[in-house]
Amino acid sequence: MTEDSSDGADTSISANLPWASRGFVISAITVAAIFVVGIAVTITTLATDEGGQGPNAADSSPTTGSTPEGGGVPRDEMPEEGRTTTPKGSDDSASVCGLDGNSDSSFDTFPEDVTWEPVGALEAPHFPGHGPGEVDDNGVRYCYAHSPQGAVAAGLNLIAMSSLSDIRKDVVQRMFAEGEGKEAALEKLKDPSKDEETIRSRLAGVQLVTYNPDYARVDVALQIDDPEAISSHVLDLQWSEGDWRVITRPSGEMVVPNSIVDSLDRYVPTGKAR
């Protein structure tokens, strides 16, 4: 995979998932308040509070809740299918494409050898040795290492692939954990909103909030230029059948709602990937 130098491009992406790469692009945001699989954010959410705090900013912080000993998704925030002591598929299964895991427990910087590749209107990272290790015939980038770096790579690539409306269903089919939430997400994708408005934004940072061999929580920060805001988008991932897979609430929405944050202080800047 090679690094792309398309910074500054004015490109519109499809509705529902307002993400931009480390370069500046035009990102489409759904005006209607339909949260397809919980990742979409609306203009209303960003513009209603002039102080920069959305309605869920305080009560949906990804660090809120009782975190299990050793880290991982807080038990009271897990969807029903992920609350058991040993969820189905949460084992030490080998990577589906043979990537090696490691015993690291944090993510503090982007490695120098990370490269970025256009995926739809966005750019997605490739972490050598951590994924994605495979791209299927539909363009779904999958197979991530059982490691913190693999979890971060999975989260960022999921967001990038979500800019491609024609493969969203394929992404959910391959990258979501089996259960009621996955079925609900697929059902929502049958009737996406068609009302769009474009705004300028960029993918500003990422934080690995919690990590253990079973679960990882990845928080991605999107910096929006107009209206000025920084939005937090949290993905919960479960190691299942040899890959990191998204877990959701039974409704198909993310475990932690989107929120507006004050600063990028807690995030690892994506600029370190350059």
Asked whether the beta carbons of 180 and 188 are under 8 A apart, the reply is: no
Assign 37 a pLDDT band (cuts: 50, 70, 90). very low
Is-contact 218 155, C-beta < 8 A? Answer: yes
Residue 64 has pLDDT above 70, yes or no: no
Alpha helices by DSSP H, listed for 111-167, are: 148-161
- Indicate the average pLDDT of the chain: 69
Is the pLDDT assigned to residue 138 strictly greater than 90?
yes
pLDDT at 69: 34
The confidence score (pLDDT) of residue 6 equals 40
**% of the chain with per-residue pLDDT over 70:** 60
What pLDDT is stored for residue 193 in this prediction? 58
The DSSP letter of residue 29 is E
Q: Which residues of 256-271 are buried (b: 16+ CB within 10 A; e: fewer)?
A: bbbbbbeeeeebbebe
The pLDDT tens digits of the residues spanning 85-132 come to 334 445 678 999 999 999 899 999 988 999 988 877 667 889 999 999
For residue 195, what are the contacts with CB-CB under 8 A and spacing of at least 6? 15, 30, 31, 32
Question: What string of DSSP letters covers 210-246?
Answer: EE-SSEEEEEEEEEETTTTEEEEEEEEEEEETTEEEE
Q: At 133, is the pLDDT very low, low, confident or very high (cuts 50, 70, 90)?
A: very high
